[in-house]
Amino acid sequence: MVYESVLLFGVIFIPAYLFSALAQFRGDPASPLRYGFQLTILVALGTYFIWCWRRGGQTLPMKTWKFRLEASGGGSPSLARCISRYALTWAGPLLGLVVYKLVVVATGFGTARFSYAAFLFALPFFFTNFLWALIDRDRQFLHDRLARTRLALLG
């Protein structure tokens, strides 16, 4: 994941730069352009992953570590499965954000700034997709189970 993150910097740099330059977005959190910027990053990441998974089932780090994405029955995953896998990958982080916000609202802590206590409480929810593999009978991530895909180790 660290290797993938390093490469993702390059993937999102150009779309982020173009959005910032063309929309004159300076990173102001109060700007309504913030949501457009976030959507641009989300679409750029999705395009990268879906394109790689459809073209051989591997990103560059997956090739290095000899993993390939497959449909659960074998073979290449369909475009719909790749899209659903990408969308479902965000389920854990979104659940973590919802839990964080609920804890902040329920306790009143962190309404003016970041709450470490609420973050620590929500942390396991951020990693739901990955923690699922600890209890799954096939050791699959939650997003793979739901999208009917799997990671296969190549010889």
pLDDT of amino acid 27: 82
pLDDT of amino acid 126: 96
Tokens 């010889």, residue located: 155
User: What mean pLDDT comes out for the span 125-154?
Assistant: 95
pLDDT of amino acid 29: 81
pLDDT of amino acid 122: 95
What is the pTM assigned to this prediction? 0.89
In SS3 terms, 84-110 reads as HHHHHHCHHHHHHHHHHHHHHHHHCCC
- Please count the other Cβ atoms lying within 10 Å of the Cβ belonging to residue 47: 13
pLDDT of amino acid 31: 86
Q: Where are the domains of the chain?
A: 1-65, 77-148
Report pLDDT digits (tens) over 4-55.
989 999 999 999 999 999 999 888 888 889 999 999 999 999 999 999 999 9
